Amino acid sequence: MAPTKENEDPSTNANEEWKKKAPYSIHEDGAGFKVVYEANCHCGRVRYQLNKEKPLASKFCHCTTCQTQHGAPFQWAAIFHKEDINFSHGHHNLEWYDPGEKSIAHKLPCKVRCSFCHSPIMDEGRNMILLFPTLINFKSEAEKRNFEVEMHMFYTHRVVDIPDGKPKWSGLSDDSDLIEDSPESAKKEWEKKKAEKKKEEKKKEKEEEHQDKKQKTDHKQNGENGKNEDGEKGYELRSKD
Ligand SMILES: [Zn+2]
Ligand SMILES: [Zn+2]
């Protein structure tokens, strides 16, 4: 049966759009794209280049999704902007998987693999991509060091202990707790951040409370001049009323 409008896959046309947008848009003949690294999947059908020496961050993720998706104890991910990558070959040989909805639709964030050998290529987020540096053909130890891992995430889900002295977060960094053999300096820094956050929250609470009170008593104070117990700040708040 010849294909008609009715039995055409409606997603086909929409799926063409991704080829024109980063990270999938191809820089023809490398136009203006400085090649710093080259990488490929296991079968070589998918090849890409990177134009930055260092990732924005490099981490090990021990979450159970990464363990299952990579068939490995943990994931090594390096974060780049979507504009930093150029698929020099076979970018149409890609497939997607959205672990949230367990679908193969191209819906962000999702996993991106070679559709032939199924090597994981990257995780595509809304603004960033998380590459897997094991695909990069490093030409020296120095190049590899540019991807040195700064921390471990979801370390509570680990299947192996890694006593490397690097910060270890129970979940996503910053939103979770530092655990295990995290370095003292990182622990101190985190305690400081936590205390500052608490102080900031308390201050905000106090300000809101104060504003509430002020709104109730302002009509009584209209005759007095500017300052209240909070000095300048209180005056500023008042003058905006
Ligand atoms: Zn492949
Ligand atoms: Zn993970």
What pLDDT does residue 210 have? 79
Residues of the domain holding 220: 191-240
pLDDT digits (tens, 9 = 90+) for 89-145: 988 899 999 999 999 999 999 999 999 999 999 999 998 999 999 999 999 999 999
What does the buried/exposed string (b/e) look like for 172-196 if buried means 16 or more CB atoms within 10 Å of the residue's CB? Answer: ebeeeebeeebeeebeeebeeeeee
State whether 177 and 199 are in the same domain.
no
Q: How far is the CA of 79 from the centre of ligand 1 (A)?
A: 21
- pLDDT attached to residue 42: 97
**Higher-scoring residue by pLDDT: 230, 82:** 82
Same domain, 61 and 165: yes
Say yes or no: 129 and 205 in one domain: no
When pLDDT is cut at 50, 70 and 90, the band that residue 219 belongs to is low
How many angstroms separate the alpha carbon of residue 172 from the centre of ligand 2?
A: 9
Q: How far apart are CA 92 and CA 24, in angstroms?
A: 9
**Residue 32 belongs to a domain with what CATH number?**
3.90.1590.10
- Mind listing the pLDDT tens digit for each residue in 157-192? 999 999 999 999 999 876 778 777 777 888 888 888
Q: What is the pTM of this model?
A: 0.73
Q: Distance, CA 91 to ligand 1 centroid (Å)?
A: 10
**How many domains does the structure of the chain reveal?**
2
Rounded to the nearest angstrom, the distance between the alpha carbon of 94 and the centre of ligand 1 is 9
pLDDT at residue 6 in the model: 40
Question: Residues near 133 by Cβ (< 8 Å), separated by ≥ 6?
Answer: 55, 58, 76, 78, 144, 147
Nearest ligand (C-alpha, residue 121): 1
Q: Strand 57-61 to strand 151-153: parallel, antiparallel, or no bridges (unpaired)? A: parallel
Clarify whether residues 21 and 72 are in a common domain: yes
Q: Which two tokens stand for residue 213?
A: 């009170």
pLDDT digits (tens, 9 = 90+) for 60-87: 999 999 999 999 999 999 999 999 999 9
12 assigned to some structural domain: no
* CA-derived radius of gyration, the chain: 26
pLDDT single digits (tens) 31-47: 788 999 999 999 999 99
Decide if pLDDT at 200 tops 70: yes
